[in-house]
Amino acid sequence: MSKKKLYQERPWLEYYDEEGLPSHLEYPDVSMVDMVIQSAEKWPYNTAYSYYGHKVTYKNFIKKIEKTARALKNYGVKEGDRVTICMPNTPEGITMVYAVNMVGAICNMVHPLSSEKELEYYIKVADSKYVMVFDAVFDKVYRLRDTAQLERIIVVRPSDGLGFLKQKMYRLLHVKKVRLPSNDSRVVLWEDFIANSYFYQGNVHEERGGADPAIIMYSGGTTGAPKAVMLSNLNVNAEALCDGTMIRQVVPGATVLSILPLFHCFGLGVCIHTPLCKGMGCILIPAFSHKEFADIIKKNEPNFIVGVPTLYEALINTKLKKDDLKSVTAAICGGDALNQTLRDKVNSFLKAHGSNAKIRVGYGLTEGSGAVCLSPENVFSDGIIGAPLPDTDIKIVQNDTFKSLPAGGEGEICISGPLVMMGYLGDDAENAKVLKIHDDGKIWLHTGDLGRLGEDGFIYFAQRLKRMIISSGYNIYPTHLESIINSHEGVLTSTVIGIDHHYKGQVPKAFIVLKPGYKAGKKIEKEIRALLERNVPVYALPVAYEFRDKLPQTLVGKVAFKKLEAEEKNK
């Protein structure tokens, strides 16, 4: 194909050529852990991660992975099993991800703040008999031991990844002791789990290829109800290799502030796996606090800051000295749209505090292994999400068709390439909605997002087709909340919308119509909130409940939620 024809079909390739970037990469047919082992062979004495100042080299990180893999085998985990990891960003969490991968099993990544009902669903849909859990949420998992038929619950304390003396001090000063059952052999503390690795001396490294499943993560799909997204080794490895190509500052020895959680695709793919495939160091932060942000930056001097818009809101409100950001060479924002005002403030703040970096915007989704698109350096336009990553094709199609639109036409964003998920686990109907074979014979992921191809050859985001609230980077699906609220015996109907929040971007608010005979008030509001608390994570709970006699409707009889949104904005 001539270069002219190629540029017509994929106009962003002109940017690749101008920047000297390869548009095609080779993807080794290996597992995730194999990629990290290759890094360790090249840079054995580079720091793989640091945790509250405690640093571990790549050489020692691989030893920890192998030891954890032996422990898994000792407790009966075999190839193809699903191991649930319900952890924040701690050394044990990332070590377990690669150990599970090493033994040929599959990681089931779960948010620790998930409700008990959600945890039950995640564990059952993945058919997971092994759970690794942060001690603060152990009770929720333990109550599921029989209904979910769990064989082993591995309990981790936040201090386990620190050095010996730091562990003792941390436990003495900070940790509220969690009571564990003394007579249940299914429950094992991390330290005992690892100590028992000695009892397995056989092979722990199963040979797995790119096409083999590696990670299960959760998304709202098209309906808002949780969907288990299956990602292959190739999916996650391709994310790392593509990120490393598009971001020039990715160099061995550089450090990444790994705040985005490992149970989030952006967090695992961009903040953990990408740096570990490139000889970089992950600065593990298990919980983000805007009050501690300045101290975290000063103590760790990161080269990369990767986060959602709320993290950058926190950054520009920190008290830093003139050169406190001189170490920062790259700033990447994803998870939600970055408005022009915030972008300009961040760039000014970086420059005023010693950094030459300018914020770049990424676009992606769990079904696309994380980021699929990244804006160029020094190119700033409203709505720009930039150029697709290498080997990734993006086209804009007319809604509910396969018809491609020309530059400027607004339609659904569709994606094809090595980043597209294997599919939703056990949900053929939902797979048929989002994974479609077009006339070119390729499988295209229909994202449910609207965008356009700009005259400059870059992709621009417009809005979401599916209803979704993004709060501090987390996706909240109104239809899912509504279905739970409507299950209350006194509720006739409900609608949930996102309302503006000064820090989180948006938060949910519920509008509720009660059945005749039920009275609005604190009592029924408390019952509805308790119902939601049993079924959704804390961050998804509505911040307000408003009872009405009726809700506004469209001409076809649907709830006019956009009218409610307009009312809230005008308050």
Q: What residue segments make up the domains of the chain, in order of their start? A: 11-26+227-464, 37-208, 469-569
Distance between CA 362 and CA 41 in Å, rounded?
30
Distance between CA 441 and CA 228 in Å, rounded?
26
Domains 37-208 and 469-569 fall in the same CATH topology: no
Please name the fold of domain 469-569.
GMP Synthetase; Chain A, domain 3 (3.30.300)
Angstrom distances, CA of residue 333 to CA of 6, 226, 342, 352, 419: 29, 25, 11, 19, 19
Distance between CA 27 and CA 98 in Å, rounded?
19
Over the stretch 434-457, which tens digit does the pLDDT of each residue have? 999 999 999 999 998 899 999 999
Per-position pLDDT tens, the chain of length 571: 567 778 878 999 999 999 999 999 999 999 999 999 999 999 999 999 999 989 999 999 999 999 999 999 999 999 999 999 999 999 999 999 999 999 999 999 999 988 899 999 999 999 999 999 998 899 999 999 999 999 999 999 876 655 554 554 444 444 455 677 888 999 999 999 999 999 999 999 999 999 999 999 998 765 667 899 999 999 999 999 999 999 999 999 999 999 999 999 999 999 999 999 999 999 999 988 888 899 999 999 999 999 988 889 889 989 999 999 999 999 999 877 787 888 899 999 999 999 999 999 999 999 999 999 999 988 888 889 999 999 999 999 998 889 999 999 999 999 999 999 999 999 999 999 999 999 999 999 999 889 999 999 999 988 776 777 888 878 888 888 988 998 999 998 889 999 988 878 889 999 999 988 999 999 999 999 999 998 888 889 999 999 999 888 765 556 778 888 888 888 7
Query: How would DSSP label each residue in 385-437?
Result: EEEEPTT-EEEEE-TTS-PBPPTT--EEEEEESTTS-SEETT-HHHHHHHEEE
Beta bridge partners of 446: 414
According to DSSP, the β-strands at 384-388 and 370-374 are: antiparallel
CATH class entry, domain 11-26+227-464: alpha beta
Name the nearest CA neighbour of 262 among 243, 253, 275.
275
Distance between CA 525 and CA 243 in Å, rounded?
46
Distance between CA 200 and CA 103 in Å, rounded?
13
Distance between CA 222 and CA 308 in Å, rounded?
23
Model confidence pTM above 0.75: yes
Residues in the chain: 571
Q: Other CB atoms closer than 10 Å to residue 561's CB: what's the count?
A: 19
Cα–Cα–Cα angle for 283, 288, 292, nearest 5°?
Answer: 90
Burial of 211 (0-12, 13-18, 19+ CB in 10 A): exposed
Distance between CA 303 and CA 300 in Å, rounded?
9
Return the CATH number of 37-208, one of 3.40.50.980, 3.30.70.20, 3.30.450.40, 3.30.70.260. Answer: 3.40.50.980
H helices of 254-308, in order, are 265-266, 274-277, 293-300
According to DSSP, the β-strands at 393-397 and 384-388 are: unpaired
Residue labelled with tokens 């199963």? 206
Would you state the structure tokens that stand for residue 571, as one six-digit string?
């308050």
